Homo-oligomer: A and B are copies of this chain.
Amino acid sequence: MEYTVLRKYNFGSDVSWSNLSAVDQEWIKLHATIKHLAKKEILFEQDSTPIAVYFVRRGKVKAIRSNTDGSNQVLFFYVEGDFFGYRPLLAEELQPVSIVAIEPTDLFQISKSRFRELLSASTSLSEQLLVSLSREFGILVNRIINFTQRDTRHRLALALLLLHEKFVSVAHTEAETPIVLTRSDLADYVGTSLETLVRLLGELKEQNVLKIEGKKIFILQMRKLLELADLH
User: Which residues of A approach B to under 8 Å, CB–CB?
Assistant: 65, 67-68, 71, 73, 75, 86-93, 96-97, 126, 129-131, 133-138, 140-145, 147-149, 191, 232
Contact = CB atoms under 8 A, between A and B. Distances in A.
A144 B138 contact: no
B96 A138 contact: yes
Contacts of A141: 65, 75, 96-97, 140
Contact of A130 (B96, B126, B145): B126
How many copies of the shown chain assemble into the complex? 2
Given A87-B137, A91-B138, A137-B137, 20 more contacts: A65-B141, A73-B148, A87-B134, A87-B138, A88-B138, A90-B130, A91-B134, A91-B137, A93-B134, A96-B142, A97-B141, A126-B126, A129-B130, A130-B133, A133-B137, A136-B137, A140-B140, A140-B141, A147-B148, A148-B191
A91 B133 CA distance: 8
Nearest to A190: B148
A191 B96 CA distance: 23
A147 B42 CA distance: 26
Contacts of A232: 67-68
Contacts of A67: 145, 149, 232
A145 B145 CA distance: 13
